[in-house]
Structure 1
Amino acid sequence: MKLPASNAAVCAAALLPVASATIYYAGVAQSGGEFGVWSATSTKGTGLPGRFGVDYQFISTAGVDTMTDQNKVNLHRVAFLLERMCPPSYGLGAKFNETHFDYYKQAINYITKTKGAYAILDPHNYMRYNDPSSQPMSGSVIGNSSDPTAATTAQFGEFWGELARRFADNEKVIFGLMNEPHDMPSALLVANLQAAIDGIRKAGAKNLIIAPGNSWTGGHSWTQGGAEASSNWLQKLVDPAGNLAIDIHEYLDVDFSGSHAACQQDPATNLANVTAWLREHKLKAFITEFGGSNTTSCTTMLNGILDYMAQNDEYIGWTAWAAGPFWGSNSPCCTDSKQWGSLEPGSKAADGGPSLYDTVWLPVIQKKVPAKLQWRGMASVKGGRLEEKPQKH
């Protein structure tokens, strides 16, 4: 479940469509690698390191097969926890739990090398580290010098440098620097992100990087917050390789949380300001989280956000929230806590009925997956050659 980025809607008019717009990457977020640590009593250390395949799992290969081969998507965003990759006993940095890393690498290689799709690496940590027991609020903000338990900005850069070194030879890997930073100074956010970019490039990796904003990286709130607004800061990032895009999330319910079944927020209106900002600074973006229920209003607005991205060339990719092997009948978003299943192929609602894969993905989102996407070459802000999914890779 996602938390509100803001309770205020952006009241700007939608931008006019751009005829040359192209979506190069389209797919689904794979949620499950961050599971197994929640504590009702906020007990630090709960579920760590956890049992792979029991408490958490990155992907279902069968689900990835269906999404890639039948649904013809070319992008999967795969969540993991920093505290499993870099156990608190080690501290955040370049020393990894190698067993855990190997499980993650197997998932990424399956997506990219076996299936020929692209994968976004997603540290699902809200720019916090050392206590995921009550995410998204628990843990120390990375780089907070007033918190003696916090990992440093330099350690965050070291972590990304090491992770990038290990995937630098895989051109289909995209580095998503952090999931939904929030409630922190934007200057610190940018310092952390720049340290990660510098670490990645120093490691020799030329892969596409996507960087989030503050305030849960909400597109609707991008220009809100006065001096702390993401629109005042994210353009300051410098990538010597020139392969940096912006990572945006946008839900359609009343408080932008992705927790309610009713869709009430018009995406074209709410994305207008961030799109204008992207255009002003000549930046590209992915919307790596969005979603809706199977209601009539959500069908309309899901079509709206997918059409909006297809019509504005600032947007080059998207992943819907969410599939994953461990959701069962639970829903990742947009159901008022009702158990309507997830976007995982083959999942079912609690009553045995159709899941959101059946009622939202297939009849709505699937129709907006472009027939031609990029299937070969390095992921890039410039995109690549478009083609229908090759039969073999």
Structure 2
Amino acid sequence: MKLKPIFRVGIVCAVILAIACAGFSLSTHSAHAEAPLSSVYGLHVSGNQLLNGDNQTIRLLGVNRSGTEYKCVNNAGIFDGPSDAASVDAMVSWHINAVRIPLNEDCWLWINGAQNAYSGSAYQQAIVDYVNLLDSKGIIPILDLHWTAAGSTTPFSQQPMPDVDHSGDFWWSVASTFSNNSSVIFNLFNEPHADSDGGACWRNGSPSPSTAPCASQNYAVAGMQTLLDKVRGAGAGNVVMLDGWGYANYIGGVLDNLPSDPNNNLMISAHVYDNSGCNSTSCYDQQYAAVANQLPVVFGELGESDCQHGFVDTAMNWADQHGIGYMGWAWDTYDCGSFPSLISDYNGTPTAFGQGFKDHFSALYP
């Protein structure tokens, strides 16, 4: 399967500094998550539908807000661009109802030399404040564990699978913080792509490095069941989103490998790009439709590498016909020729690529 390109990582990782390990973490119970608007409160799964507290069907139609996974470890801030009310109002003007927020486990936990100014309580409070702001505008926040690293290594890139060392602690802490906010969706791990036994590795992980079913990984791997157990153990009944494997492009095997959830609150995310392995309506028919008949499905990342929108238009039209949501990558202002940026400024001016999403959202919600 053709893998998704790494143009996102290259933009932010030109310089990697050697950072010493700091052997402490931070409790997060002081963070305060405010009550969201009723339209996004009480999110839960029923069959293949995502519903709110009034049992109205919710289809996630939104964007990814990249930056919070990399700015902190580059000692350059927390958000890439503004995170104020005006910037969220620009999203509202696009009729967006969900924003996916990529996170860095070391910045949240304040470990492995993560800078004090942009990690620990500062990072956590910034995320809580942004979640509260999105809630106040009727937008569903999706918290995504995006960058991780085992041991004393600082996360500067996407890893194949989450690690036993920190990823469980991350989710216990995040879930504890947001357990009383049922508008928040937890996306357990971005783009799993271990090249060992895909389904078994994805679900169960490996307790030791280089052992089955994740034998190709040189660190102890936390599977989706372990991370889900951490979320539920922290008392959070929130909806949990699971990326498929193969850089989240393959979800055909997830139904046979689902982790056990006492809350039955799981949904599935596929990442779809023009240069992904599954990138045609015939493949969507074959692989994605059957999953969407059983569980809620979203294209958690949807993008196009040529700064146009013909490919994503086709994908969105197919998703509309099957009750599947989609989220554009990404609400950032990089050069659209090398990074699929939806906007040219944070007032919401669309790029040629972003125009496709804006027009599509507006047609659905005129």
- Structure-2-length-normalised TM-score: 0.68
Deviations, residues 324-378 of structure 1 (Å, cap 9, x unaligned) = 3xx4x433xxx3x3x7x82236269xxxxx97x242323x2123227778xxxxx
Aligned partner of 2:138 in structure 1 is 116
Instruction: Find out whether 1:288 has 2:325 as its counterpart.
Output: no
Whether the aligned pair in 1 keeps the contact of 2:176 and 2:234 (CA below 8 Å) is yes
The aligned runs of 1:22-41 (5 Å cut-off) are 24-36=59-71
Distance in 2 between residues matched to 1:170 and 1:58, nearest whole Å: 24
CA contact (8 A) 1:248 1:289 kept: yes
Distance 1:60 1:126, change over 3 A: same
Distance 1:28 1:309 in 2: 15
**Correspondence list, 1:108-147, <5 A:** 108-112=131-135, 114-125=136-147, 131=153, 135-136=157-158, 141-143=161-163
2:341 counterpart of 1:361: no
C-alpha distance in 2 between matches for 1:200 and 1:133: 22
CA distance in 2, matches of 1:101, 1:183: 29
Match in the other structure for 2:319: 309
Secondary structure, aligned partner of 1:76: strand
Shift of 1:276: 4.1
Tell me by how many angstroms 1:65 deviates. 1.2
Asked if 1:213 is matched to 2:224, the reply is no
Aligned-pair CA distance for 1:128:
6.1
1:182 maps to what in 2? 193
Deviates more, 1:22-31 or 1:76-85: 22-31
Give the Cα–Cα distance (whole angstroms) in 2 for the partners of residues 305 and 176 of structure 1.
Answer: 22
Q: Kindly report the root-mean-square deviation, in angstroms, between the aligned alpha carbons of the 2 structures.
A: 3.6
SS of aligned partner of 1:169: coil
- Map 1:137-286; keep pairs closer than 5 Å: 141-143=161-163, 151-152=164-165, 155-185=166-196, 186=198, 187-191=200-204, 192-218=223-249, 221-223=250-252, 231=253, 235-253=257-275, 256=276, 266-279=279-292, 282-286=294-298
**Paired amino acid for 2:60:** Y
> Could you tell me how far 1:87 is from its partner in structure 2?
3.2
Indicate conservation of the 8 Å contact 1:32/1:59, yes or no: no
Q: Deviations over 1:95-121 (max 9, x none)?
A: x82222111111111111x21210100
- The code of the aligned residue for 1:330 comes to D
Q: 1:277–1:206: structure 2 CA closer, same or farther, 3 Å change rule?
A: same
Instruction: Name the counterpart of 1:101.
Output: 124
Q: Distance in 2 between matches of 1:129 and 1:71?
A: 41
Equivalent residues of 1:125, 1:132 under 8 A apart: no
- Are 1:30 and 1:58, in contact at CA under 8 Å, matched by a contact in 2? no
Deviation at 1:203? 2.1
Contact 1:127 1:180 in 2 (8 A): no
1:2-41 correspondence runs (5 A): 4-5=3-4, 24-36=59-71
Q: Which amino acid aligns with 1:360?
A: F
Find the residue that maps to 1:170 and give its secondary structure.
coil
- 1:232, CA displacement in angstroms? 6.1
Q: How far is 1:4 from its partner?
A: 2.0
Residue 135 of structure 1 aligns with an amino acid whose one-letter code is S
1:234 CA displacement? 5.7
2-side partners of 1:141 and 1:181: how far apart?
A: 5
Structure 1, unmatched stretches of 5+, are: 7-19, 38-45, 144-150, 224-230, 258-264, 349-353, 374-387, 389-393
**Partner Cα separation in structure 1 for residue 279 and residue 161 of structure 2:** 32
Q: Is the 8 A contact 2:71 2:77 kept in 1?
A: no
Residues 290/203 of structure 1: CA separation in 2 closer, same or farther (3 Å cut): same
Query: Structure 1's 318 and 266: CA in aligned 2 closer, same or farther, altered over 3 A?
Result: closer
User: Partners of 2:151 and 2:343 in 1: how far apart?
Assistant: 28
The alignment of Structure 1 onto Structure 2 pairs a total of residues equal to: 292
Question: Is the 8 Å Cα contact of residues 126 and 182 (structure 1) preserved in structure 2?
Answer: no
Relative to structure 1, the CA distance from residue 287 to residue 131 in structure 2 (aligned partners, 3 Å threshold; closer, same or farther) is farther
Q: Indicate if the aligned counterparts of 1:58 and 1:79 stay in contact, CA closer than 8 A.
A: no
Q: Which runs of 5+ in 2 are unaligned?
A: 6-48, 51-56, 205-222
Deviation of 1:179 after TM superposition, in Å, equals: 0.9
CA–CA separation in structure 1 for the residues paired with 2:161 and 2:274: 28
Quick one: which amino acid aligns to residue 4 of structure 1? L
Cα 1:89–1:35 shift into 2, 3 Å: closer
Equivalent residues of 1:222, 1:273 under 8 A apart = no
The whole-number CA distance in structure 2 between the counterparts of 1:104 and 1:370 is 28
